[in-house]
Amino acid sequence: MAAPGVTGGSPGAGAPAQGAPYAVELRGITKRFPGVVANRNIELRVRRGEVHAIVGENGAGKSTLMKTLYGMHRPDEGTILLDGREVTFRSPADAIDAGIGMVHQHFMLADNFTVLENIVLGSEPTRGGRLDLAEGRRRIREISERYALDLDPDELVEHLGVGDRQRVEIAKVLYRGATTLILDEPTAVLVPQEVDELFGNLAELKREGLTVIFISHKLDEVRKVADSITVIRRGTTVGEVDPKTTTARQLAEMMVGSELPSPETRTSTVRDTVVLELRGVTVSTPGGRPAVDHVDLTVREGEVVGIAGVEGNGQAELVDAVMGLRPLAAGSVLVGDQDITAWSTRARREAGFGFIPEDRHRQGMLLEGTLWENRILGHQTRPPAAKGWFIDRTAARADTERIMKDYDVRAPGPDTLALALSGGNQQKLIVGREMESKPRLLVAAHPTRGVDVGAQAAIWELLKDARAEGMAILLISADLDELIGLSDTLHVMLRGRLVGTLDPASCTPEQLGGHMTGAHGTAGAA
Amino acid sequence: MNALRRLGPALLAPVLAVVVALVISSAVMAALAVNPFDVFSVMLNFGDSPSQQVTAMVVIVNRAIPLFLAGLAVAIAFRMGLFNIGVEGQYRLATIVAAAVGAAVSLPAPLHIGLIIVVAMVVAAFWAGIVAVLKVTRGVSEVISSIMLNFIALGTASYLLTGPFRGSPEGASIIATADIPPSGQMPGLNGIFDVFGLANPPRQLYGFLLVAAVVGILIAVLLNRTRFGFDLKASGMSPSAASASGVNARSMVIKTMLLSGAVAGLIGLPDLLGNTHSYTTDFTAGLGFLGIAVALLGRNKPLGIALAALLFAFLDRSLVPLQIADYPSSVVTIVQGTIVLAVVVANEIARRVARRSAAGGSAAPAGGPTAGDGSTGVVPTPPPGSTDQRQGAQA
Ligand SMILES: Nc1ncnc2c1ncn2[C@@H]1O[C@H](COP(=O)(O)OP(=O)(O)OP(=O)(O)O)[C@@H](O)[C@H]1O
Ligand SMILES: [Mg+2]
């Protein structure tokens, strides 16, 4: 399995060539959860001042390893060395004291607080026992300047886009004096322009001598930004590779042993029957500003309609409007020629709407629930979940096991709690349950967010097959390759409006990116 | 093994709470120069003769029935993250109206009792429904409105008692509604003592025990086995995910509060139907608040609530013997109070222990009331520094 560029599964212990000890060294880390070994004998060596990437398929144990390093739980075996000294962390507070900071995959900012308040929360600057916000503001400005983070301390977080929020998270970690930053899937929610900005920030951090460890499923990206890459498979280290001499294809093979997927669609399967039609749909925010502004849209049987846009331009509100989760300020929603504007979410679900939400933790899962409960979530009024007024637990469990097998959800069983699953496996369960209900219309927001390349290919394949069988799909995604590759029709959304329609057959990700930020004006036939 | 693993975390917190409460109250008693072991032995002493012992048990069970119903009423709302603090007002108002209606009519026995039960449930459900309507139409917090409605209910109850529903003669020391005729009185269950060859105590074991058992089973089935129960549980775990799955949050709030209120309406009936047969100025008060403690201790599960109700009833029974033995009866109040505090603390500790053994804090939901039952014993808290892990998608 040794791919070119592998420097050996277990390089000799000790220091790198220059003689200085590693900034972070994990030796023989093993971490068990009931029924699973999440990490087995993992070796990780990170030099000071480098950007070190960790790649591996869903459930490989990446997040678990990083949580160990961040003191969120203790390893069952193995040691952690920082600058050559062995350390034991009892809590993240210990890790922070040792200069380790972590930005989690799911943001943890309070929306109604300012940037300043969010950053100082938990380590408030005081003078004479009183909160000293001026000092906090000064330090944030300093950090922002030094690492080119471009933050305004007094801006409310709810007004910020995802890219900005992420920089706030990074600033929060730097504010606490971190010299080693862990970023868990930082790019999953970003569009390409924002990814470039983030990588600019990382380069800045590196120049200042900080160490960055980051997890990603986007292999091209990893090769572009990382100085070295550690590959993990099924809980154990496969080896460390040099990004300069390794191709994305070789990386993918090391991870999963499968080829890099491409979302290229085959021939068009668009039929005439209209499934979903939006007429002048307008959704207003509490402030009165329209989040979705007079959107007209048609999705036909066998058609994938893609919506491209920088996150926060109304896509989430549009999806909510289609699913009946938000009232319309104006306009109507039609299925066939029936006006369903006033229908409840349940009525829409029962009429054959499938839904893969953008934020799986908020709208897609009961984290404290079991997998079978999550299997029936959203389908609790139909078989196999329901038998009349009752829940059919036996059938639900059996069907959950089937979905776990068919969709490669790696977990001990249907009674496992959803929060014990890795992010990608949670996503696979959601995709599985929605696809298995054979919807007429699938509203898919970021369907492959957080899944590894192998699973991504599988989900793309599923969507294509379903489309060929006549399923109508409304696709929202931040992954431009996915949008271009899957869509039959591609709309660009900017500030709540559909500002352009592109031909997915002829446009490149670069062009699409330009339209999304408004740089290209409103070209194309709207 | 599997059962043990499932039950472990569920049992850990309540047992821990009771132990901690005993330790703390012993310390308090010691500080008051009372020997805690003497107090506990008085509490555990059920009397010498078999008749006395059976009587003590009857007293405990009779007291446990309303506590169980109160805990159940609170727990139903708790499961979906609603705090029904208004159980107290709901059952008091329901009981006086039911007592008055029961005294005013004369029907064949089963119908008569049935009517009283239905009236009590409807009145209490109505009162709880006000809370729900205020919440879904005006966004009023159910905690605030139900506390306010408690005052109004208690005031209304005493107005009704001294005014239109008064049945006792002018100048009587205790004001009461008119007595419910025998057809509306529920017979006791003392027959079973003869069956088991036990001494038949002078006290009647409330026939309402059977009603409470049936209600407990029905609620358990409803919560755990039906679509409604699933929607309720989902709403408690994650309101946003529940709405996305098609649960109508508003109608869910209304249905849940009506159900919680209907069960609350039953709380006063064991005493009314089995013992007092009228509502008086000194009718048992405070059951609604004790119900909150019982539901907490029982982790919102019917079986747990039954055990918690028995424990609280046991503590209540010892009030009289303690006074006879010349110990301050506030000892019992202290034990009950510390149990409530300890439950809250112990739930948190058990949660951390469970988290250490299972969850690495991955994907922890934001704080807030952790409704849900004991089977979800693993409820991780967000790691330090986090304020909200749910990404604000509306932003
Ligand atoms: N709290 C937990 N309890 C039980 N098992 C867990 C827990 N957390 C993780 N696991 C298991 O450990 C394994 C590794 O999970 P981890 O979250 O580290 O994966 P990952 O590499 O980050 O995957 P992804 O790319 O999908 O995020 C998985 O099999 C997962 O089910
Ligand atoms: Mg992960």
In whole angstroms, what is the distance from residue A318 CA to residue A280 CA? 12
Helix, strand, or coil here: A120? helix
Range from B173-177, B259-263, B286-290, B373-377 carrying the lowest mean pLDDT: B373-377
Of residues A202 and A129, the one with the higher pLDDT is A202
Helices (H), A407-472: 423-436, 453-468
Q: How confident is the model at residue B9 (pLDDT cuts 50, 70, 90)?
A: low
Inter-chain touch B238–A365, beta carbons under 8 Å:
yes
pLDDT of residue A512: 83
Averaged over A435-447, what is the pLDDT? 93
B80: chain A residues, CB-CB within 8 Å? none
What whole-number distance in Å separates Cα of residue A365 and Cα of residue A357? 10
* Mean pLDDT for the stretch of residues A45-54: 92
3-state secondary structure of A95: helix
Mean pLDDT in residue range B121-142: 94
Mean pLDDT of chain A: 84
Is residue B10 classed as helix, strand or coil in its secondary structure? helix
* Beta-strand relationship, A180-184 and A211-215: parallel
Query: Which CATH number applies to B2-394?
Result: 1.10.3470
Query: Which of residues 366 through 425 in chain A touch B, CB cutoff 8 A?
Result: 366-369, 373, 376-381, 386, 389-391, 393, 417-420, 422-423
Residue B387 confidence (pLDDT) above 60? no
Distance, first Cα to last Cα, chain A? 50
Predicted pLDDT of residue A433: 93
Q: Tell me what the mean pLDDT of segment A263-270 comes to.
A: 67
Order of strands across the sheet that contains A36-46: A36-46, A24-33, A77-82, A85-87
Instruction: Give the closest residue to A98 by CA, choosing from A116, A115, A86, A114.
Output: A86
Element (H, E) at B256: helix B249-264
Closest Cβ opposite residue B241 in set A67, A316, A377? A377
Mean pLDDT of B88-102: 95
Q: Whose CA is nearest to atom 19 of ligand 1?
A: A59
Highest averaged pLDDT of the listed ranges A101-115, A466-480, B178-192, B352-366: A466-480
Nearest residue to B65 (alpha-carbon basis) of B287, B318, B299 = B287
Evaluate if residue A213 carries a pLDDT over 70: yes
Quote the pLDDT of residue A264: 62
Regarding an ipTM greater than 0.90, the answer is no
How many Å lie between the centroid of ligand 1 and the Cα of residue A419? 9
User: For tokens 């104006």, what's the residue?
Assistant: A330
* More confident of the two residues B390 and A21: A21
Per DSSP, which regions of A47-92 are E strands?
51-55, 77-82, 85-87
For residue A232, report the phi and psi dihedrals to the nearest 5 degrees. Answer: -120, 135
pLDDT, tens digit (0-9, with 9 covering 90-100), for B144-194: 999 999 999 999 999 999 888 888 777 777 888 888 888 888 888 888 887
Least confident of A141-145, B220-224, B374-378: B374-378
Chain A to chain B, count of Cβ pairs less than 8 Å apart? 174
What is the pairing mode between strands A85-87 and A77-82? antiparallel
Specify the higher pLDDT residue, A109 or B287: B287
Least confident of A22-31, A368-377, B11-20, B287-296: B11-20
Across residues A4-21, what is the average pLDDT?
49
Q: Does A384 sit behind a cis peptide bond, omega within 30 degrees of 0 on the bond before it?
A: yes
Return the pLDDT at A18.
56
A95 touches chain B (CB under 8 A): no
Q: Which of A121, A389, A393 sits opposite B227 (nearest CB)?
A: A389
Three-state helix/strand/coil letters over chain B:
CHHHHHHHHHHHHHHHHHHHHHHHHHHHHHHCCCCHHHHHHHHHCCCCCHHHHHHHHHHHHHHHHHHHHHHHHHHHHHHCCCCCCCHHHHHHHHHHHHHHHHHHCCCCHHHHHHHHHHHHHHHHHHHHHHHHHHHHHHCCCHHHHHHHHHHHHHHHHHHHHHCCCECCCCCCCCCEECCCCHHHCCCCCCHHHHHCCCCCCCCCCCCHHHHHHHHHHHHHHHHHHEHHHHHHHHHHHCHHHHHHCCCCHHHHHHHHHHHHHHHHCCCCHHHHHHHHCCCECCCCCCHHHHHHHHHHHCCCCHHHHHHHHHHHHHHHHCHHHHHHCCCCCHHHHHHHHHHHHHHHHHHHHHHHHHHHHCCCCCCCCCCCCCCCCHHHCCCCCCCCCCCCCCCCCCC
* pLDDT reported for residue A256: 67
- Closest ligand to Cα A64: 1
Residue type present at position B149: L
Structure-token match 């149990």, residue found: B339
Q: For residues B220 and B205, what is the distance between their CA atoms, to the nearest angstrom?
A: 24
Q: Following DSSP, what letter does each residue of A22-42 receive, concatenated?
A: PSEEEEEEEEEETTEEEEEEE
Cα dist from A174 to A49, A96, A143, A169, B385, whole Å? 15, 10, 7, 9, 14
The percent of residues in chain B predicted with pLDDT above 90, rounded, is: 43
Rounded Cα–Cα distance for residues B137 and A149 (Å): 44
How many angstroms separate the alpha carbon of residue A237 from the centre of ligand 1?
Answer: 15
List of domains in chain A:
24-246 (3.40.50.300), 258-352+439-526 (3.40.50.300), 360-438 (no CATH)
C-alpha A260/C-alpha A122 separation (Å) is: 43
Flag if A312 and B378 touch (Cβ within 8 Å).
no
CA distances from B101 to B97, B105, B118, B156, B161 (A): 6, 6, 11, 16, 13
Ligand 2 center to residue A59 CA distance, Å? 7
Structure tokens at B309: 């109700």
Q: Which residues of B touch A417 (CB under 8 A)?
A: 358-359, 376, 378
Q: Are A500 and A519 in contact (CB under 8 A)?
A: no
What does the pLDDT read at residue B305? 94
Report whether pLDDT(B111) > 90.
Answer: yes
Q: Which of residues 421-450 of A touch B (CB under 8 A)?
A: 422-423, 426
pLDDT band at B395 (very low <50, low <70, confident <90, very high): very low
Q: Which pTM value belongs to this model?
A: 0.78
3-state secondary structure of A170: helix
A344–B contact, CB cutoff 8 A: yes
Is any Cβ of chain B less than 8 angstroms from the Cβ of A334? no
- A336 torsion bin: left (phi>0), alpha (psi -120 to 50), beta (else): left
Residue A524: the pLDDT is 41
The whole-number pLDDT of residue B243 equals 92
- What pLDDT does B2 receive? 52
Distance CA B224, CA A304 (A): 39
**What's the rounded Cα separation, in Å, for the pair A454 and A21?**
36
Beta strands in A88-179 (DSSP E): 100-103, 126-127, 130-131
Q: Residue A8: is it exposed, middle or buried by C-beta count within 10 angstroms (0-12/13-18/19+)? A: exposed
CA angle A11, A13, A16 (to 5 degrees): 80
The answer on pLDDT for A244 being more than 60 is: yes
Structure-model confidence comparison of residues A163 and A173, the more confident one:
A173
**How confident is residue B388, by pLDDT bands cut at 50, 70 and 90?**
very low
Question: Is residue B112 within 8 Å of residue B175, measured between CB atoms?
Answer: no
Q: What's the pLDDT at B383?
A: 34
Residue A259: which pLDDT band, with cuts at 50, 70 and 90? low
Q: What is the pLDDT of residue B394?
A: 34
Of residues B23 and B132, the one with the higher pLDDT is: B132
Predicted confidence (pLDDT) per residue in A326-350, tens digit? 999 999 999 988 999 999 999 999 9
Quick one: pLDDT at residue A257? 57
Of the two residues B214 and A196, the one the predictor is more confident about is B214
Going by pLDDT thresholds of 50, 70 and 90, the confidence category of residue A260 is low
- Residue carrying the six token digits 């069988």: A469
**Alpha-helical segments (H) within B107-238:** 109-138, 142-162, 191-195, 208-225, 227-237
Q: Is residue B363 very low, low, confident or very high in pLDDT (cuts 50, 70, 90)?
A: very low
**B358 CA: nearest ligand 1 atom:** 3
pLDDT at residue number B193: 80
Domain coordinates of chain B in residue numbers? 2-394
pLDDT at A263: 57
> Rounded to a whole number, what is the distance in Å from the CA of A364 to chain B's nearest CA?
6
Average pLDDT over residues A270-291: 86
pLDDT digits (tens, 9 = 90+) for A365-407: 998 899 999 999 999 888 888 888 999 999 999 999 999 999 9
How many angstroms is it from B377 CA to the middle of ligand 2? 23
